[in-house]
Structure 1
Amino acid sequence: MSRDATSPVLLFDGTCNLCNGSVQFILDHERGPELRFAPLQSDVARSLLRDAVGEARTRELAAPDRDPGSMILLERGHAYLQSTGALRTARYLRAPWRFGTLMLLVPRPLRDLVYRWIAKNRYRWFGKSESCRVPTPELRARFLA
């Protein structure tokens, strides 16, 4: 796996059980170890996000006292938010899961409406952890924080 700045990074809510489950799903179904991961609550995530979208947008998306509300895929200098970030992540999965990218054909406002509804209810439906999950020693190098 490449460790340079061009490697894609998935930023996720480290206290959200749905988000942690999604990261585990990605690890179990990815084509290869291309993605790296960082919880949005970490300094590393805020630094990477600041490089991609600037200081003001970083404060809006990843303020320590604010619900992150979105997984964010950092890929080739771009930050992909909400449904676009989640669906672009499917490109790194094995078939049949990678075909989830076909959902990008659905208009973004409709996709994001569904994404925001799930994000708004994720703690109620799936619960919340008090801390970020600790990866196994084999996976630790893939997690940036």
Structure 2
Amino acid sequence: MSEADVILLDGDCGLCTRLAVFMTPRMSSAASLRFLAIESEEGQAIISTFPQHIQDADTVYLVRNNKPYIRSSAALRFLFYMRWYYAMWYPVGWVIPLPIRNLVYRFVARYRHRIFRKPASCVFPMPKTDQG
């Protein structure tokens, strides 16, 4: 069992990088979450332990309590690591049916490289800040 949960993000994605940089200082002080690039050796090793249909998803992955989540489910569960005023939005998002959430997620994922510039360098893994 890992000591921290892991979120695997595209290290070449400007949106992923910006969201991680924005959210890191806003995480709960009790949160235990590591950011990793999907492309990293450790990221690929983690993904290789998932069932094949999850490995083939080519998306954001969240491993929470040793269970993998993908797409909008991963993004929504990320709120559990945030301070209360972000985490309170989880039930609101969960009311939206999964097919609709994933449709929106896939739309954003398809166009993210056109809208957000590729970062100059991968910022993952990112240290968790000690802000509370």
What is the Cα-based RMSD across aligned positions, in Å? 2.3
TM, length-normalised to structure 2: 0.84
| Structure 1 partner of 2:82 | 93
Percent identity over paired residues:
28
- The count of aligned residue pairs is 127
State the one-letter code of the partner of 1:101.
Answer: Y
Q: Which amino acid aligns with 2:71?
A: Q
Which residue matches 2:7? 10
State the secondary structure of the residue aligned to 1:37. strand
Contact persistence 1:6–1:76 (CA under 8 A): no
Higher relative contact order (Cα pairs below 8 Å, separated by 6+ residues): 2
Whether 1:127 and 2:125 are equivalent positions in the alignment is no
Alpha-carbon deviations, 1:31-52, whole Å to 9, x = none?
024110110011101111222x
Other structure's SS at 2:115 match: helix
CA contact 2:17–2:119 (8 Å) conserved in 1: no
**Is residue 54–residue 70 contact of structure 2 (8 Å, CA) maintained in 1?**
no
Which whole-Å CA distance do the structure 1 matches of 2:121 and 2:5 have between them?
A: 24
For 1:89 and 1:79, how far apart are their aligned partners in 2? 12
Contact 1:11 1:71 in 2 (8 A): yes
Give 1:110-121 correspondences, 5 Å limit: 110-121=100-111
Question: Which structure 2 residue ranges, 5 or more long, are not aligned?
Answer: none
Contiguous gaps of at least 5 residues in structure 1:
62-67, 141-145
